[in-house]
Chain A
Amino acid sequence: MEDNLLLQAIERYLDGTMLSAEKAYFEELRKNTPEIDQMVVEHSMFLHQMDLYSAQRNMKHTLHEVHTKLLERGDINEGGELNTRGRVIQLYNKYKRVTAIAASVGGIIALVISGLTVYFTPANNNQLQELKREVEVVKRNQQYQGAKLNEVDSKLPKDAVLTGGGSGFLIDAKGYIITNAHVLKGSSFANVINNNHDEFSAKIIYRDEARDLAILKIEDEDYKPLKTLPYGFRKTDIDLGEEVFTLGYPRNDITYNKGDLSAKTGYNGDSTRWQLEMNANPGNSGGPVLDKNGEVIGVLSTREKHAEGVAFAIKSKNIFKMINEVKDTDTSLEKIKMTSHSSIKGMERAIQIKEMENCVFLVQAFNKK
């Protein structure tokens, strides 16, 4: 109770409501009693704090009221009623970072997946190199060949533009030549040149981009068809380690390469191809791959970029498959007959080559200007 009265007195003293006589008495008391003096100081401090506290609280209250009032009046705007876009923007602002992160993660995953897909896809262009001849090389060689050609005038139309080149070989003596589809990429017609530098016009009669095979037909009155082809197409299985060879035109003259069958599947397990231990060069694309008996086992098409001496050939049964598939619909292919009989079996390699070299052609692909 005493504390209570004392506090009351102190408060009255501090807020100046004490009468002067009482005030003088209280001041005397303060001077003589340090405890009371201390209490006065303490209480004055407390009241100051209380003042600040209440002022701040009142200001907070006022601000809150003002905010609501201005909001109602439309002087300030927190989205919501006035325009619904505000909330969307607010949400956007709130989550744009999250969205950005999610989008980046999504993007990275997409990139990784597409990267993996590309990596594991057979016949990957990054890992494999098509063995067609680049246009510049072909052009240079063409000039050189111009002098050697047996024809007086080139059989090409004047406005022909060279698009690429490679090798090709007869699959039927009537003038059907198989080559790679990539050799003919972007071209509308072709001509073929044999090792005697005889040039013949050829028509592109069929392309199969998926198998990377194409068939040309020599349509030239100067072409004298052989009775039969010296080589046949092997239908029996082939074993690893069997010796194989190819003929082709990585240069202007027919070139011989030999090697071994090193795997029964192509790049990344591609079952439509053979893997060969063989040096192949641009220009070899479309050339025949034969076993030691002179039976064609495939069409040379690609090589591995980052491994020395690894080449891939499209298995010859793909040619049969392709022809059988389209025979009914494409009458131009129905006349093709492929034999399995090889007449050069058991001959020396040099003789075999001599026998067949005019059946392997340099293919030049053109487009009109």
Chain B
Amino acid sequence: MKAELNEQALLKGLANNDSKAIEALYKDNFNMVQSFILNNNGSYDDARDIFQEAMIALYEKAKSDSFVLTSKINTYVYSICRRLWLKRLQQIGRYSNQIDSLEETVSVEEDLEIHEKRNAEFAIMDRALNSLGEPCKSLLEGYYVKKMDMQHLAKEFGYTNADNAKNQKYKCLIRLKKLFFAQYNIGD
């Protein structure tokens, strides 16, 4: 019961970007995933990529309103990593059915579907932002990603006042929205 409560707390911490919780989760689960990847034709870099992607998937799930985790965290993380790695191996044509499956796994297909959709959206936004050019890109990133306030941003970018910076930000935003929706609608 205590362990379960602890896991719930960790997931809550993850959803709230609490670095202590993230560290604990990372520490508890990474080695298992790493040895799995290494034992199945992967490298240290592969292990890191796959594990971090699984953590993102877990984070998205923890943040969603309908969140329920029906298994232990390590089982869930392992299952996600296993699916992701199998997929990666298939993509590079090295599919092996000898994948080590001694660990217990749970079905994660639905979650992965949601995660993939999310990834696609992320990529669209990323592309849109990157094709904006400077200073638009950094300005918008500063405001939306780093959550800096306008005064601060104006100072950093050298605008004479916050209003000018704000004006510029909206101009950039209009361009970004255009770029984003051009891709996003096609994607739909």
Contacts and interface: CB of A to CB of B under 8 A. Distances in A.
A255 interface: no
B167 A4 contact: yes
Nearest to B166: A8
Contacts of A50: 125, 144
Interface string B1-43: 0000000000000000101001100110011001000110111
B180 A46 contact: yes
B52 A49 contact: no
A94 B23 CA distance: 29
A64 B45 CA distance: 12
A93 B38 CA distance: 7
Contacts of A66: 19, 22-23, 26
Interface in B90-143: 118, 121-122, 125-126
Contact of A4 (B43, B145, B174): B174
A289 B84 CA distance: 79
A94 B41 contact: yes
Chain B: number of interface residues, binned into ranges = 35 or more
A3 interface: yes
Nearest to B96: A97
B125 A59 contact: no
Nearest to B167: A4
B48 A67 contact: yes
A45 B4 CA distance: 36
Given A52-B121, A60-B52, A76-B34, A70 B59 contact: no
A7 B173 contact: yes
A90 B31 contact: no
Q: Which one of B42, B55, B118 has the highest number of Cβ atoms from chain A below 10 Å of its Cβ?
A: B55
Contact of B23 (A4, A69, A78, A79): A69
Contact of B55 (A42, A57, A63, A69): A63
A323 B126 CA distance: 93
Nearest to B30: A76
Dominant secondary structure of chain B at its interface with chain A = helix
A63 B145 contact: no
A59 B180 CA distance: 21
Nearest to A94: B43
A75 interface: yes
Contacts of B23: 66, 69-70
B22 A62 contact: yes
A46 B125 CA distance: 10
B174 A70 contact: no
A70 B44 contact: no
Contact of A3 (B43, B59, B63, B174): B174
A240 to B, nearest CB: 62
A196 interface: no
A76 B30 CA distance: 7
Contact of A67 (B26, B180, B181): B26
A193 to B, nearest CB: 67
Contact of B122 (A4, A53, A89): A53
B170 interface: yes
A268 interface: no
Interface in A96-153: 97
A79 B44 contact: yes
A109 B96 CA distance: 26
B87 interface: no
A229 B59 CA distance: 105
A53 B121 contact: yes
Nearest to A47: B144
B159 interface: no
Given A49-B125, A63-B26, A58 B17 contact: yes
B27 A75 contact: yes
B172 to A, nearest CB: 10
B38 A90 contact: yes
A43 interface: yes
A154 interface: no
B126 to A, nearest CB: 7
B55 A76 contact: no
B181 A46 contact: yes
A8 B180 contact: no
Contacts of B181: 42, 46
Contacts of B170: 4, 7-8
B12 to A, nearest CB: 15
B30 A70 contact: yes
Contacts of A76: 26-27, 30-31, 34
Contacts of B125: 49-50, 53
Interface string A18-52: 00000000000000000000000011001001101
12 contacts: A8-B166, A50-B144, A54-B147, A55-B17, A58-B17, A59-B56, A62-B19, A62-B22, A77-B31, A90-B43, A93-B38, A93-B42
The 9 closest A-B pairs by CB, nearest first: A54-B145, A78-B44, A53-B125, A4-B170, A63-B52, A66-B26, A76-B30, A75-B27, A50-B144
Interface of B: 17, 19, 22-23, 26-27, 30-31, 34, 38-39, 41-44, 47-48, 52, 55-56, 59-60, 63, 118, 121-122, 125-126, 144-145, 147, 166-167, 170-171, 173-174, 177, 180-181, 184
